[in-house]
Amino acid sequence: MAKTHGPLYSLSAKGTIGKTITYGKSQFGNWARGVFLKKTTRNKAQDIIRNWFKRTIDYFLDMADEERFLWKLVLMNTKEYNTHKIQETSRSPRCHLSHHTLSTKSFLWNLSPFPPELIQWLGKDEIEGYEQMKSDLETLTGLSFCDPVPPFFFPYLGIVTTEEHPGKSYRTIGLTNARGAAIALHEDHYFTSSIREQKHIVGHELTHAIMSQHGWKYRPAVSDSEIIADECGYRIADGDLIPVYTYKGKTLSEWVPDPSCP
């Protein structure tokens, strides 16, 4: 409702009448103007972009520091060896991830969820009994893999920096994508380890992967996640599959938010 102070335009008026005319006063004097409703410009294409942008932010927030480091590593290398690429070197890791997800509408590039600019190679054929270890883990945990988990070898994965991680400040020898879409293994460490330790490393990361595929969030429960993955990893390495694994008296089907696959 407009409030007038004297006849309109003679002294002052302030407010809106019938959602059609608005009165007011500025340093230049009294004024009146029509009310125009802003037209929405949001369309289907914009909805798609906004949805992908939100999914990308949620995806990045769920990443462990070690996975985020890989996206930072891309920018570090770009800055070091391609200093003329000003736009790329000024990006943050999250922005660089968004560049890929928004341009490709995907979280996988050549089957890998890791930065495509980094040196990496699919190692499924290099890991003896990989599919059998996945099957063993399903028996041990009572969960099923909802999606394939390709393993990739990297020459460098950085240092463990996630708070509450028992290996903090040590070299990263393996990590799992935030959605359990793939695992990354440190090449030199893996191939110089004993067979039992190789199986333990793979079993450890696969445990993270299968839990993530069932809605488990790593960042809010780092310590519990690492204990579970370590214990399951050693049981896989030793072929100790029965009884079903429990943690603090509960099976993993009771721990994860969604024990069934979508």
Instruction: Say whether both 10 and 138 belong to one domain.
Output: no
Instruction: Say whether both 176 and 52 belong to one domain.
Output: yes
Report pTM: 0.81
Model confidence band, residue 86 (pLDDT cutoffs 50, 70, 90): very low
Q: Which domain holds residue 27?
A: 3-34
Instruction: Say whether both 116 and 196 belong to one domain.
Output: yes
At residue 193, does pLDDT exceed 80? yes
Residues 25 and 31: beta-carbon distance below 8 Å: yes
- Nearest partner of 179 among 142, 138, 150, judged by Cα: 150
Residues 225 and 211: beta-carbon distance below 8 Å: yes
* Mean per-residue pLDDT, 106-134: 96
How much is the pLDDT for 145? 98
Percent of the chain at pLDDT above 90? Answer: 73
Instruction: Say whether both 30 and 51 belong to one domain.
Output: no
In a domain, 83, yes or no: yes
Residues 175 and 157: beta-carbon distance below 8 Å: yes
